[in-house]
Amino acid sequence: MAKMYTPAMAKIEKKRARRKGKTKQSTPWREAWKRLKRNRLAIAGMVILILLILVAIFADFIAPYGIDDQMLKERNLPPSSKYIMGTDNYGRDIFSRVVYGTRISLPIGFICVIIAYAIGGTLGAIAAYYGGKVDNIIMRIMDIFQSIPPMLMAIAIAASLGNGVVNLVLAISISTMPARSRIVRAAILTVKRNDYIESARAIGASSTRLLVKYMLPNSIGPILTSVTFSVATAILTISSLSYIGLGITAPTPEWGSMLSAGKELMRQAPHVLIFPGLMIMITVLALNLFGDGLRDALDPRLK
Amino acid sequence: MSENVLEIKNLVVHYETPDGVAEAVNDVSFTIKEGETLGLVGETGAGKTTIALTIMGLLPKPAGHVIQGEILLDGENIVETSRNRLKQRRNDRMMRKLRGSKIGMIFQDPMSALNPVMYVGDQIAEVIRLHNKVSKTEAAKRAMEMMELVGIPGMRYKDYPHQFSGGMKQRIVIAMALACNPRVLIADEPTTALDVTIQAQVLELMNGLKSKFKTATLMITHDLGIVAEICDKCAVMYAGQLVEYGTVEHIFNNPQHPYTLALFAALPSLDKDVDRLKSISGLMSDPMNLPEYCSFYERCDARCEGCMKLDPPITEIEPGHFVKCIHFMDKKQVAATGGGSEHGEVTV
C-alpha cells in the first residue's frame, strides 16, 4: 500500500525539517528552560522583572522630572496627563520618583542576597561537606543568630549602625545569613549522598574540587530558586526598614520611605501612597512568580 | 609467575557505631598478581564492599577503622592502622594520589556514578588531568581515545550522562577507572545493575581490557557465573572471613567448605527440572555479635559438636586451595586449639 499523506502529516514533516537544521544539544539548562517556557505565570514574572531592570537602567530617559524637582504650586495633585501618578506634598512628580526607586530597591535587594549567600552559603557548604564537629560548631552559631527574628535583628543592626545604604545592606545580609546557610547546607547534604561523589573521590579528586565542581553545580537548582525568593524578601525588608525610618531616608526615592512620607496625607491624597506600594507589590509578586516557576523547572523530580 | 601486585595480609576492619562494634572484615588475606582476576563472592553484608573501600582508602568516616593488617600495593603498605591524626592525614593525602592513578574503581550502579552536570568526556579527562601534568587539549584527546577503546564513538565526548544508556554509562565508568592505566582495578558488582545481554558485553570488554593493560582485578560479585567466566582465582566470603580460597578450578571442580557447597547447590541446573531451588536456611550472623566459634555453624549441614568449641583457622588442603572448616584441620591442630576429638567424618 502506498504511503498516505495527509495535510497534517505534511505540516509535521515541514516542522521537523525546519527543526533539523538547528537541533541543539540538550543540556540540563536547556531542559530547564523548556520547562520554564511552558509555565506562563513564571514567564509573566520574568517579563515584569526584565521590564523593571530596564526601567532601572534607563530611568534617566523614562522619568519626565528629576527626583527632587519641586513644583511647589502643584502639591498633592491627583494623577493627570501631566503627572501620570500625581505629585506629593512637595510637588514632586511621583512617577519619576517611583522610576528612580527601581534603582534603589532592585540592586540593593540583589546585593543583600549575594552577600548573605556568599557568607552564609560558604559556611553552610563547609558545614555540610565536613559534617561532624565542624557542622555542629557552624550550625550552632547560626542557630544563635537565628534565635532572633530576622526583622528584629535587622532593626537592631540598622538602629545601632545608623542610616545609610551600606548599613542597610549590612543589616539585611547579616540578619538573613543563617537562613541562607541552612538552605545551602541542606542542598549539599542531599547531593553528598550520591554515588558520583563517591566515584569522584575514587578518581582522587580533592575536597575543594569535590565541593566546587561536583556538589555545588548539582545543588544549584534549589539554591537559585531560593535566591529569587530571597530577593523578594530583601526588597520587602528594605522597604519596611525605610518605612520606619531606619533605612534609606528622604529625599532618596526609596519606595518604603515614600510610603512613609505619604501616610500622613492618606485621606486627602491616597495616590502618594498607592503607587509606591503598588511597585513594591508588583516587584515582589514578579520575583515570587518567577521563583515558583524556576523551582518547578529545576526540580528533577518533575522530570 | 610475576610479582604480587596487590597483597592483603590479615586485614581486620571494624565499624564503630554508637550501637556497638560491627566486625565487618575479620582476618582476611589474599593476593592478586599482574593480569590476574580474583573473584570475591559472598552474600550481602559479608564484607566484600568493605574490603574494596579499605583498599581505596574510602572507608566511611568516622565509623570505619582498620584495626590491623596490611595492604601491599607493589610491595608498599597503603593502610594506616594508627589512630594518630597526623599519620591518618598523611595516609589520606597519599591515598588521594593513588586513587585513580594506581587504583581504579568501577561502581555498582552506572546510572548514578557519573556527574550529571559534566560532559562524559570531560569526566574521563578529569581523571587524566588530576594525575598527569598534561594540557587540557591533550587530556581531551586521551579521553577520546579511552572512549573509543571502550566502544563509545569519540564524537559523543560532549554528551551528558543522561543521554547515555546504562551499558554505555558503565563503559564510561570503566574508561574512567582505566584512564590512568592503574595497577589494580576494583570492580564492585559492575554488572548487577545491567541486563543480561549488556552484562555479557561489559564482561567481554573488561576481559579484553584486562589482558591489554595487565591490570590486577578484584571482581566483587554475587554471580558465580561471572566468576567462572572471567576470574582466575576465587575467594568465598562469609561473615567477614574467607571461608574458601583457591583457583577457579579448585572452587568450581572441588568445592570443600559447606558454605561453598550450599552456594552451588542453590544454583539452578540446566539438565534437571526442579520445582524448588535449594536455599541456605537461616540468616548470616550479626556482625555486631559474631559467635566465638565457627560463624557458619548455625546454618551448616555438616556441623558437629567440635564446631562449637573453636573458630577454625584457614587451612591449606591442597597447594593453593584453602578452606576454613574444622573438618579439614589436622588432628594435631584440633587438639592444640582445644577442639573436641569427637568431630565426625565429613559427610558432605
Q: Which residues of A touch B101 (CB under 8 A)?
A: 204
The three-state secondary structure class of B27 is strand
What pLDDT, on a 0 to 100 scale, did the predictor assign at position A300? 57
pLDDT for B108: 82
Of A184-193, B30-39, B326-335, the range with the lowest mean pLDDT is B326-335
**A218·B112 Cβ contact <8 A:** no
Of A256, A251, A249, nearest in space to A279 by CA: A256
ipTM of the complex: 0.76
The grid coordinates listed for B160 are 551528558
Q: What value does the mean pLDDT take over residues B111-138?
A: 89
Do residues B304 and B329 touch, judged by C-beta distance below 8 A? no
| A28, A194, A204 member nearest B130 (Cβ) | A204
Q: What is the pLDDT of residues B187-213, one digit of tens each?
A: 988 888 788 888 888 888 888 888 888
Question: How far is the C-alpha of A121 from the C-alpha of A172, rounded, in Å?
Answer: 15
Q: Are the beta carbons of A138 and A127 closer than 8 angstroms?
A: yes
Grid coordinates of A238? 528594605
> What tens digit of pLDDT does each residue of B295-338 get?
888 888 878 887 888 888 888 888 889 888 888 776 555 555 55
Instruction: List all residues of chain A from 40 to 69 with a beta carbon under 8 Å from chain B.
Output: none
Residues 6+ apart with CB under 8 A from A49: A283, A286, A287, A290
- Cβ A234 vs Cβ B160: under 8 Å: no
Most B-contacting residue of A203, A206, A212 (CB-CB within 10 A), to test interface = A203
Choose the mutation target among B50, B118, B131, B163 for the interface with A, i.e. most A CBs under 10 Å. Answer: B118
* Nearest alpha-carbon partner for B104 in B175, B155, B41: B175
CA-closest candidate to residue B12, choices B81, B97, B82: B81
**Cα B26 to Cα B342: distance, rounded to the nearest angstrom:** 27
The pLDDT-based confidence of B339 (bands split at 50, 70, 90) is very low
Q: Supply the pLDDT for residue B346.
A: 44
B116 touches chain A (CB under 8 A): yes
Bond preceding residue B182 cis, omega within 30 of 0 = no
CA-based torsion, B294, B297, B298, B304: positive or negative: negative
Amino acid at B318: E
Give A213's contacts in chain B (Cβ within 8 Å).
115, 118
Cβ–Cβ < 8 Å for A200, A210: yes
Mean pLDDT, residues B240-258 taken together = 90
**Cα distances (Å, whole numbers) of residue B105 to A25, A214, B42, B58, B64:** 30, 18, 19, 11, 19
Partners of residue B131 in chain A, C-beta under 8 Å: 204
* Residue, of B161 and B273, whose pLDDT is higher: B161
pLDDT digits (tens, 9 = 90+) for B97-115: 888 889 999 888 888 889 8
Confidence category of residue A195, pLDDT binned at 50, 70, 90? confident
Residue B187: partners with Cβ closer than 8 Å, 6 or more residues away: B105, B106, B206, B217, B218, B219, B220
Map residue A181 onto helix, strand or coil.
Answer: helix
Predicted confidence at residue B194, as pLDDT, reads 82
A198 and B109: CB-CB below 8 Å? no
Contacts of residue B96 in chain A, CB cutoff 8 Å?
204, 206
What residues in A contact B93, CB-CB < 8 Å?
Answer: none
Q: Which grid coordinates are listed for B301?
A: 549441614
**B56 or B332, which is more confident:** B56
Residue B176 to residue A217, Cβ atoms within 8 A? no
Distance from CA of A206 to the nearest CA of B (A): 7
H/E run at residue B245: strand B241-247
Most confident region among A127-131, A249-253, B266-270, B282-286 by mean pLDDT: A127-131
Residue A218 forms contact with B (CB below 8 Å): yes
DSSP reduced 3-state for B298: helix
Q: Across the A/B interface, how many CB contacts are shorter than 8 Å?
A: 68
Chain A within 8 Å of B109 (Cβ-Cβ)? yes
Region of poorest pLDDT, from B82-86, B178-182, B185-189, B217-221: B82-86
CB-based contact, A134 to chain B, within 8 Å: no
Confidence of residue B348 (pLDDT cuts 50, 70, 90): very low
> Closest chain A residue to B123 measured between Cα atoms?
A200
Residues of A in contact with B187 (CB under 8 A): none
- Residue A71 C-alpha, separation from nearest chain B C-alpha, in angstroms: 58
Run of H or E residues at B321: strand B321-323
Structural contact between residues A128 and A242, judged by C-beta atoms closer than 8 angstroms: no
User: Smallest Cα–Cα separation from B257: which of B294, B306, B202?
Assistant: B294
Q: What share of chain B is helix, strand, coil (3-state, %, to 5)?
A: 35, 25, 40
**Amino acid B332: pLDDT:** 53
Res. B92: pLDDT tops 80: yes
Say how far apart CA A71 and CA A244 lie, in whole Å: 27
Percent of chain A with pLDDT over 90: 34
Instruction: Answer with the residue of higher pLDDT: A182 or A67.
Output: A182
List, in sequence order, every residue forming a beta bridge with B323; answer none if it has no partner: B244, B315
Asked if B28 and B14 count as a contact pair (C-beta separation under 8 A), the reply is: no
Mutation pick from A199, A206, A216, A218 vs chain B, by most beta carbons of B within 10 Å, is A199
β-bridge mates for residue B219, sequence order = B39, B187
Residue B74 has pLDDT above 80, yes or no: yes
**Whether B56 contacts chain A with CB within 8 A:** yes
**C-alpha to C-alpha distance for A95 and B67, rounded to whole angstroms:** 75
- A198: contact with B, CB 8 A cutoff: yes
Is pTM beyond 0.90 here? no
Q: What is the pLDDT of residue A178?
A: 92
- Mind giving me the DSSP string for B89-106? HHHHHHHHHHBTTTEEEE
C-alpha cell at A243: 518605612
Reduced to 3 states (helix: H, G, I; strand: E, B; else coil), residue B185 is strand
Stronger pLDDT, A9 or B259, i.e. the higher one? B259
pLDDT score for B128: 92
DSSP assignment of B102-167, as one string?
Answer: TEEEE-S-TTTSS-TTS-HHHHHHHHHHHHS---HHHHHHHHHHHHHHTT--GGGTT--GGGS-HH
Q: How confident is the model at residue B341 (pLDDT cuts 50, 70, 90)?
A: very low
**pLDDT for residue B345:** 43
In whole angstroms, give the CA distance from residue A221 to residue A217.
8
pLDDT of residue B342: 44
Q: Say if B60 is an interface residue toward chain A (CB within 8 Å).
A: no
Question: What's the pLDDT tens digit per position in A198-233?
Answer: 888 888 888 888 888 889 888 888 888 899 999 999
Task: With CB atoms and an 8 Å threshold, state whether A199 touches B113.
Answer: yes
Q: How confident is the model at residue A58 (pLDDT cuts 50, 70, 90)?
A: very high
Kindly state the percentage of chain A with pLDDT values over 70.
93
Q: Whose CA is closest to B115, among A219, A202, A218, A203?
A: A218
Q: Which chain B residue is nearest to residue A193, measuring alpha carbons?
A: B112
- The residue count for chain A: 303
Query: Coil, strand or helix: which one is B284?
Result: coil
CB proximity B51 to A under 8 Å: no
| pLDDT for the residue A5 | 66
Of B58, B98, B131, the CB nearest to A201: B58
Mutate to test the interface with A, among B115, B160, B184, B185 (most CBs of A within 10 A): B115
Cβ atoms < 10 Å from Cβ of B289:
10
Dihedral angle sign, alpha carbons of residues A36, A42, A43, A46: negative
- Give A204 to chain B, closest Cα distance, Å: 5
3-state secondary structure of B232: coil
As a whole number of angstroms, the distance between CA A39 and CA B33 comes to 60
Q: Residues A97-150: pLDDT tens digits?
A: 999 999 988 999 999 999 999 999 999 999 999 888 999 999 999 999 889 888
Counting Cα atoms < 13 Å in the Cβ hemisphere of A56 gives 17
In this model, does residue B157 exceed pLDDT 60?
Answer: yes
For residue A20, pLDDT over 70 is answered with: no
DSSP A118: I
Q: How far is A164 from chain B (nearest CA, A)?
A: 42
